[in-house]
Amino acid sequence: MTTQPASSYTAENIQVLEGLEAVRRRPGMYIGTTDKSGLHHLIKELVDNAVDEAMAGFCDRVEVIIRADGWVTVSDNGRGIPVDIQRQTGRTAVETVMTVLHAGGKFGGGGYKVSGGLHGVGASVVNALSSELWVEVVPDPDAQGPTHAGKVYRQEYRKGIPQTDLVPSKLPGPRRHGTTVGFLPDDSIFESIDFDFRVEADRLRQYAYLTKGVWFHLFDERDGRETNYYFEGGIKSFVRHLNVGREPLNPDPIYVEREIEGNQIECAIQYNDGFNESVFTFANSINTIDGGSHLTGFRTALTRVLNDYARKAKILKDNDPNLTGEDVREGLVAVISVKLPEPQFEGQTKTRLGNMEVAGQVQSALSDALTQHLEENPSDGRRIIDKCLMASRAREAARKARDLVHRKSALESGSLPGKLADCSSRDPSESEIFIVEGDSAGGSAKQGRDRKFQAILPLFGKILNVEKARPDKMLSHEAIRLVISALGTGIRETFDVTKLRYHKVVIMTDADVDGAHIRTLLLTFFFRNMPTLIEGGYLYIAQPPLYRAQSGKSINYFYSDTELDAFTKGKKNINVQRFKGLGEMNAEQLWDTTMHPANRMLLQVGVEDAATADVTFFELMGDDVAPRRRFIQAHATQVKNLDT
């Protein structure tokens, strides 16, 4: 055995990153990504701090302004960050909060009873990832003492480093106490510093629902757009919003608010005549997309109370089986919000609540409120139970259809579903499947693919719109059965991501109106029946080119009219071909432009706001025409290319 000479490895190789340098070197550890999501996370961190003040009862107004010069300011009318000296650091509390990780009033020091910002890294991370930042504090004399009355304190930073001391000056005019932070994101860190008004508006609306009685204002100086949110009804208003356009079975949402052992429990429930479940859970205003103990308690209470009521009302007979959890959640829209002094989240992203005592508390609170509502409103109870019974019958039919799908699945029987051309690899991490529109496109894709890791599943015609169909009807649709069989995961409650046969599921349709419709139908199916596929980052959309331009021996492909126009300006003797569909490309062209990993562009499908996505899918794909018309009217001006 030969020994390689060891390279020098001493204490000199150990690097200590001082202050906020660690954040600048590894921003993904603190904000997830440096794309649009990470950019907006900067605003979220500051708004979280303002919401903490609101939940503590010291703030009733939060304002976000996107400036024309790229700056963003976030203001609240809370107590103001303390301006006196922090004993451990020897610096002002303002500078400590803005420059020291894990510094804040949320670690049991009495600053906050309930908080969403748990790690104390929010403001300092924003500071670290901004090329410039300033903070202004107008202290509340009642909270910080009379010596600060009538003063405004300001400090400026550059890339997290203080440029000035915290300097007090006299207030120039009437101004309420609170904190304002202005920051300019560092364009050397972020892919883009162009904020999306719609993303921020959706987030602030959600905050307004979860912190009732607080006014949220958003203004965009770039184009003058403005929006305000204020909801006295809190999560009851949230549920009504989620149900807009749907036919409710209980006209007024069932609501409970209770404090148990220091934990605040809120639930709002309303059923509709649809087939999907829309339940959203929050802990300290954080969207716990993976659920947790509060969701467990909610589901247990819902199933138990509805079964007890159905038997007491003689709707379920002695020999009838109980309604299952799946039965009682069809057509359910609900929001569960808990606020805890000591929340325990599972995972760094805070997506699942782990406090086990909360399950029993939510179960107790909801059981009492739901039982009382059903007894006092028997007509609501009858409509809800009838809905559950219909769901039960449909579930049995769906089970039979699902069993048929499983029997025919590629995993269990060894046969390939439909016209699936599978790949030779059996390693899901390197395998990908293209769901392709049409036979001709499927033929080109099969010929052009790399057979080792690329599978092709052609679909024919438009698939079923699952937004309008019960599960049993959906599972009897041939194209949907083929997709389920090919992926191997099952759907809804039976979904198991460990059985996913391909870690890239790529929707590849024509770049025209019909192709967009088929893509939307497939996205609806995945969002409603395989949401974990999207949350796990496994779903993609292929981007085939619109044009092929040849000048002499030079061949170029373009994905928009703008790209093509920029290329052809001033050039002569250019042959331009417009691809009206994937089938017009030969196998080599399709491989080079759309399937070759080194050349292709894939859009990864994600969900920034599940509640907003839920409403959007209903608006676009539901039975009611009016919401769809409103959506088209609101977004018509954003359409750049429309085939005629």
**CB contact set of 429 (below 8 Å; sequence gap of 6+):** 503
The 10 Å Cβ neighbour count of residue 108 is 9
The 10 Å Cβ neighbour count of residue 8 is 6
Left if phi > 0, otherwise alpha if psi is -120 to 50, otherwise beta: which for 100?
beta
**Placement of tokens 């480093």 in the chain:** 161
Is 521 within 8 Å of 459 (Cβ atoms)? Answer: no
CA atoms within 13 A on the CB side of 43: 28
Closest CA to 243 of 629, 624, 524, 633: 624
* 333 phi and psi angles, rounded to 5 deg: -120, 125
Catalytic residue numbers? 437, 510, 512, 514
Left if phi > 0, otherwise alpha if psi is -120 to 50, otherwise beta: which for 337?
beta
Output the CA–CA distances (angstroms, integers) from residue 375 to 328, 382, 510, in the order listed. 17, 11, 54
Cα 197 from Cα 223, distance rounded (Å): 10
How long a stretch of residues is the chain?
A: 644
* 557 phi and psi angles, rounded to 5 deg: -115, 145
**CB contact set of 255 (below 8 Å; sequence gap of 6+):** 235, 236, 266, 267, 268, 269, 369
Cα 213 from Cα 61, distance rounded (Å): 9
Cα 510 from Cα 517, distance rounded (Å): 10
Instruction: Strands of 432-472 (E only): list them.
Output: 432-437, 454-459
Left if phi > 0, otherwise alpha if psi is -120 to 50, otherwise beta: which for 526?
alpha
Is 508 within 8 Å of 582 (Cβ atoms)? Answer: yes
